[in-house]
Chain A
Amino acid sequence: ETGVTQTPRHLVMGMTNKKSLKCEQHLGHNAMYWYKQSAKKPLELMFVYSLEERVENNSVPSRFSPECPNSSHLFLHLHTLQPEDSALYLCASSQDLRQGYEQYFGPGTRLTVT
């Protein structure tokens, strides 16, 4: 266990559904991240939060909406997704944003959009 949990672990949703992914870290870290991992592609950084403030948004479509209510929790709200959004969504945290701090990853949510 890395100290980062994600729920649900698997999610199947239709294109018209609304769902949310949850991430929680028990490490006292200040930075949290959402990544998308598709087959045979590099890990894609989606969002970065530091002390509950969004500091990076990598041109992610608006159908993905992040929320960070406190430094321990991170959500990714999903609505009207497309089949190409099917992927493994990984949450990570690090002590803070300065270089050299390793990232701790959760186990991921396997999302399938039908």
Chain B
Amino acid sequence: SQQGEEDPQALSIQEGENATMNCSYKTSINNLQWYRQNSGRGLVHLILIRSNEREKHSGRLRVTLDTSKKSSSLLITASRAADTASYFCATGGGSYIPTFGRGTSLIVHP
């Protein structure tokens, strides 16, 4: 299965700390996307990284991709209570449909 799997399943930190979550997948990909979902709401696209890229930044977000290890990480720096949400990776490979994992639930305590 090409489905990404996020790790850890849950993460609890204090405001101001950095949050790191990981995504592993099994087959080759063309790109990997990260999404955020606030409780009971739809997903919001955060960032896309292509297979020929190793690192990408967007504001307080930093995404890395290691295709040799078939893994990606999402780093949120200087976290805020508003970052509390679930974070999903979605892998894009031969199929045009991104495949989502179960997500990492992040809680940022004020």
Listed in ascending order, the chain A residues whose CB lies under 8 Å from chain B are 2, 4, 6, 33, 40-43, 45, 48, 56, 88, 90, 92, 97-100, 102-108, 110
* CB pair A2 B101 closer than 8 Å: no
* CB pair B44 A2 closer than 8 Å: yes
Size category, B interface: 20 to 34
Closest CB in chain A relative to B52 CB, distance in Å: 12
Contact residues of B: prevailing secondary structure? strand
* CB pair B102 A42 closer than 8 Å: yes
Closest CB in chain B relative to A69 CB, distance in Å: 22
Please indicate the chain B residues that have their CB under 8 angstroms from the CB of A106 in the complex: 42
8 Å CB contact of A88 from B30, B40, B97: B40
Binary interface encoding of chain B residues 3-43 relative to chain A, with 1 for a CB under 8 A from any of its CBs, else 0? 10000000000000000000000000011010100001111
